[in-house]
Amino acid sequence: MVTSVTTPGRYRFWLGGLGFRDRLDVVVDARQIYSGRVGWTWPGVYTPVGAATLTKGVHRIELRYHGPGLRPGSGGNQFPMGPLVLGLDTAPDRTENVATADAASLCSRRLDWVEAVGP
**Stretch 9-25: mean pLDDT, rounded?**
86
pLDDT reported for residue 110: 83
Q: For residue 29, what are the domain limits? A: 2-90
Q: Among 58, 57, 63, which residue's Cα sits nearest to residue 27?
A: 63
Higher-pLDDT residue of 6, 20: 6
Grade residue 35 by pLDDT with cuts at 50, 70 and 90.
Answer: very high
Tell me whether residue 16 is in a domain. Answer: yes
Question: Is there a domain that residue 74 lies in?
Answer: yes
Is the alpha carbon torsion for 27, 32, 33, 38 positive or negative?
A: positive
Residue 98 falls inside a structural domain: no
Structural domains of the chain, count: 1
User: Residues 76-81: what's their mean pLDDT?
Assistant: 74
User: Would residue 102 count as lying in a domain?
Assistant: no
SS3 content of the chain, % helix, strand, coil (to 5): 5, 45, 50
Q: Is residue 100 part of a domain?
A: no
In a domain, 17, yes or no: yes
Bigger pLDDT: 105 vs 44: 105
Nearest Cα to 3, choosing from 80, 75, 87, 67? 87
User: Is 56 among the domain residues?
Assistant: yes
Write down the pTM of the prediction.
0.69
Residue 26 is predicted with a pLDDT of: 95
The answer to whether residue 18 is domain-embedded is yes
